[in-house]
Structures are given as structure tokens and as C-alpha cells.
Amino acid sequence: MTFYMSAIILTELMMIAMTLHVLHYSGFTREQKTWYLLTFSAVMLCSAAEFAVHCGAYDPKFAIPLTILTVLQFSVAPLLGVLFSGALGLPGQKKIAIWFIAINFAVETIAAPFGLVFSFGEDGYSRGRLFLIYEAFYFVSLVYLIVSMVRVGRRFRNRDARTIAMILLILIAGIIPMTVFKLNITYIAIAIGASLCYIYYNDLVQQDIQAELVANQAALSRMQSHIITGLASLIENRDVETGEHVLRTGAFVETLTRDAIKDGVYLDQLNETFVSKMTTLAPMHDIGKIVVSDKILRKPGRLTSEEFEEMKKHAAVGGDVIREVLEGVTDEDYLSFAADIATYHHERWDGTGYPKGLSGEKIPLAARIMAIADVFDALVSERCYKEPFSFEESVGIIEDGAGTQFDPQLVGVFLRHRSEFR
Ligand SMILES: [Fe+2]
């Protein structure tokens, strides 16, 4: 009997804990929460009734209240199968639950005064001649539950069918004490089953949330790259050379950055995220050219010093243009990365570049990579003011710029992997 009472107390406490968790958990819909709360409350009611009947403090004067309590318990206990099915997420359980409890309650209420299912005599509780009625209801409930579990298993394409099988096994095992030892504790098995089911569902909900997050992130990335491609083609429409240039430099910076990682250069900053940002955002490096007039941008031949000063503004305003266009579309990390490339890609390692005259590692790494890509592509390409340089000549010019115009470590990487840039 001590073991029996301990099991009842344990069940009560377990259901209180589960109830508190459901109340404060945000992952379920209101309907799912209601079914779980009903399941847990029903188990608590049945356990409390068992405790009141079997706690050893029986007095014949409690016969009537205990009879009422047991009628309630016997009406609710077979309902657990339906409540549990609702908690499993099966639709249409409300109507079935109402029918189940109505029929059970009616039968138990009619049988109670005659002591057909159970009675309270001088010695307390005893089973009636027709206790089988209660067992029959219970059996129907369990069959119903088994069918529900199978349906749930199908619905989730047998995702973790083992969990469902495990819950079923516990529930079926719960019948043994009732039939063999005459202990009405099947709902203890239901309590364990409901808890397992809750944990299982919780896991499914988490998986769904995770999948949604990944999908949202992918959609956001696609949106960003659409906007960036759109902006890059905006430049292309104004200046054909620059248009092709932005696309080529995108591929160039990706190769150079990956090579730097391979060579173990700047590993404190370089990683896959950096490569991805660098590749996506490099096409925006000349976005500031939007403020440079067509006359200067499309001028054949060399620019005058005034015109060159005008041209230089594209770097100074590049960051601002990026912030204006991308603010709110992407996060600060992305914004500042893109702004750094646009603003500082004409800085020089020796500090004689523009717009700020930054030197060495004060120039953001992304802009230092961009600078090599930008110049190298300009060298090997035909421009309205010049013929293309040969590949070897262009590599030589970059090599000469190491430590003056360009970051010497990055030039080293470029030279070691020169064949990849042909
Ligand atoms: Fe530029």
C-alpha cells in the first residue's frame, strides 16, 4: 500500500509540474495548451480521488462524499484517452470528449446508488458485481487512444515512431495493475505517457521553429543579394566599364580572400562569414559614383585635376550612399562592412590614398582586399583612356605596389596564387 500511495503522490506532483510548464510555455497553440491542461487536470483529479479513497483514513460517514468523488473519478478516467488524443493534436476531439464524459457520468451515476460498479461499506471501498462496466469504458478509451496514436504517427510521417510506440507500451502496461492487482492506477501510466508526449511535442515544435528561422534567414539573404545586385546594375547602366568591373571584382575578392585563409593570413578576421560578406558586398564598392556626373564618368581620355577631385568624391560618399540605401534592409554589421569597402577602397598602405589618408592596418581589411581587386581589374581591362595591360605586366604592377599602395601580406597571397586570377 505504501508503494501505491507513493505512486499517487508522485503522479500528483508530476502533473503539477507539467501544468506549470504548460502555463508558462509559449511554443503551443491555445488549443493544444487547453488539451494538455485538461489531461493533466484529469489525471490530478483521479489521483486525488484515489488518495482520498485509499489513504487509510476511511470513516463510514464519508461514504457519500467519497461515492460522489469516485463517480467523478470513474467518469473522468476513461476520458483520458480522448483528452490525450486532443493533446496529441488530433482535431475534432471536443465533441467526442463531451459524449464520452456524458455517457460515462450517466452510467456511473445510475449505478452508484446500487453499488453495481463500486460501493463504500463499513470497511471502505470495494468493487461491485458490474465493475466490468468501468473496465469496458476503460478498454474502449484505450482502444480509442491506440487508434489516435497510430493516426498521429502517420500524420508526422512516422517521425520518431519509437516515441509513440513507447508511450503506447506504457499505457498498455498501466492496465496490468487494474486487472491483476485490482489497483485503479492506469492513469498513472497515462500521466507518464502524457509527460512523454508533451516532451515529444515540445521537440517537434522546436524543430519547426528552427526550420522557420533557417527559411527566414535564407529569404533575408536572398533579399539582400537582390538589392545589392540591383544596385550594382544601377551603376552598370550608367557606366558600362564599371558595370562589368563590379561583377569581375566580386569573383576576384572571393578568390583572394579564400587564398588568404589557405595561407593563414589575417586568420583573426578572415573566415567563411567574411568571405560571404566580401563576395556579396564587393559589387557595391563604387556605389558612390552615383554622385559623379556622366561627363566625368564617361570622359574618354585622362581627367583634369579638378575632374579627378570630383571623381574622388565617390569614395567619400560611398559609405553614406550605402547607409541611405541599405538602412533597415540589413543589420549594422553588414552595413558597416559594405560602407568600409565603399569608403576606403582607394586608401593606400602608405597613407597617401583618399578620402581619409588612413595607413597600414588602420584601413579596414575588406577595403585592402578590395583595393588590390579594383586596381588589378582596371589594369587588365580596356578603358576609354587606356589599352589593357598584359597579365604579367599587371601582376608586376601589383607586386611593385606592395607596402606602398597595397597591403604587403595580401600582395604576397595574390602572388602565390597568381594563376587563379588569369
Ligand atoms: Fe572606386
CB 407 within 8 A of CB 349: yes
Q: How far is CA 236 from CA 1, 123, 239, 246, 268, in A?
A: 86, 96, 5, 8, 35
CA–CA dist 160, 171 (Å, integer)? 18
3-state secondary structure at position 59:
coil
Cell digits for 296? 566625368
272-281 helix and 240-262 helix, angle to the nearest 10 degrees: 170
Give the distance (Å) from ligand 1 centre to CA of residue 318: 9
Looking at per-residue confidence, does 245 or 91 come out higher?
91
What is the spatial distance between Cα 57 and Cα 51, in angstroms, rounded to a whole number?
10
d(CA 37, CA 97): 14
pLDDT confidence of residue 145? 78
Residue with more model confidence, 152 or 286: 286
Handedness of CA 253, 256, 257, 258 (dihedral sign): positive
- Mean pLDDT for the chain? 84
**286 Cα: distance to centroid of ligand 1 (angstroms):** 5
Scanning the structure block, which residue is given the C-alpha cell 544596385? Answer: 231
Peptide bond before 355: cis, by omega within 30 degrees of 0?
yes
Give the model's confidence band at 190: pLDDT under 50 very low, under 70 low, under 90 confident, else very high: confident
Query: Would you state the pLDDT for residue 258?
Result: 96
Report the pLDDT value the prediction gives residue 238, as an integer from 0 to 100: 66
Distance, in Å, from the CA atom of 302 to the CA atom of 128, rounded to the nearest integer, reads 109
**Mean pLDDT of the 149-172 span:** 70
* Side chain identity, residue 233: S
- Judge whether 348 and 342 are in contact, CB under 8 Å: no
Least confident of 64-68, 99-103, 123-127: 123-127
**What pLDDT is recorded for position 125?**
82
340-373 pLDDT tens trace: 999 999 999 999 999 999 999 999 999 999 999 9
Q: What domains can you pick out in the chain, each with its CATH number?
A: 2-211 (1.20.1070.10), 239-421 (1.10.3210.10)
pLDDT computed for residue 197 by the predictor: 73
- Tell me what pLDDT residue 361 has: 96
Q: Residue 17 and residue 269: Cα distance in Å, rounded?
A: 47
Is pLDDT larger for residue 297 or for residue 393?
393
CA–centroid distance, 208 to ligand 1, in Å, is 45
Distances (CA, A) of 410 to 245, 272, 295, 299, 336: 20, 17, 35, 32, 22
Rounded distance from Cα 289 to ligand 1 centre (Å) = 8
Instruction: Write down the pLDDT at residue 408.
Output: 97
SS3 content of the chain, % helix, strand, coil (to 5): 75, 5, 20
User: Which is more confident, 186 or 398?
Assistant: 398
Which grid coordinates are listed for 336?
558597416
Arithmetic mean of pLDDT, 271-278: 92
Q: How far is the CA of 285 from the centre of ligand 1 (A)?
A: 6
Phi, psi of 268 (to 5 degrees): -70, -20
pLDDT of 185 higher than 80: no
- Please give the distance of CA 202 from its chain centroid, rounded to a whole number: 14
> pLDDT at position 138, please?
80
Q: What is the pLDDT of residue 184?
A: 66
Model confidence at 159, in pLDDT bands (50, 70, 90)?
low
Question: What is the Å distance from ligand 1's center to 392 Cα?
Answer: 23
Return the biggest CA–CA distance within the chain.
Answer: 116
Rounded mean pLDDT of 94-120?
A: 88
Tell me, in angstroms, the distance from the centre of ligand 1 to residue 315's CA: 6
SS3 118: strand
Mean pLDDT for the stretch of residues 126-130: 85
Name, of 31-35, 250-254, 394-398, the range with top average pLDDT: 394-398
Q: How far is the CA of 267 from the centre of ligand 1 (A)?
A: 26
Average the pLDDT over 80-97 and give the result: 82
As a whole number, mean pLDDT of residues 79-85 equals 81
Share of the chain above pLDDT 90, in %: 29
**In this model, does residue 158 exceed pLDDT 60?**
no
Which 3 state secondary structure label does DSSP give 270?
coil
Assigned C-alpha cell, 154:
502517420
Higher pLDDT, 398 or 239: 398
Neighbours of 16 (CB within 10 A): 12
Note every long-range contact of 356-365, with CB atoms under 8 Å and residues 24 or more positions apart, other chains counting: 361/407, 363/407, 364/340, 365/266, 365/269, 365/270
> What integer pLDDT is reported at residue 412 of this predicted model?
97
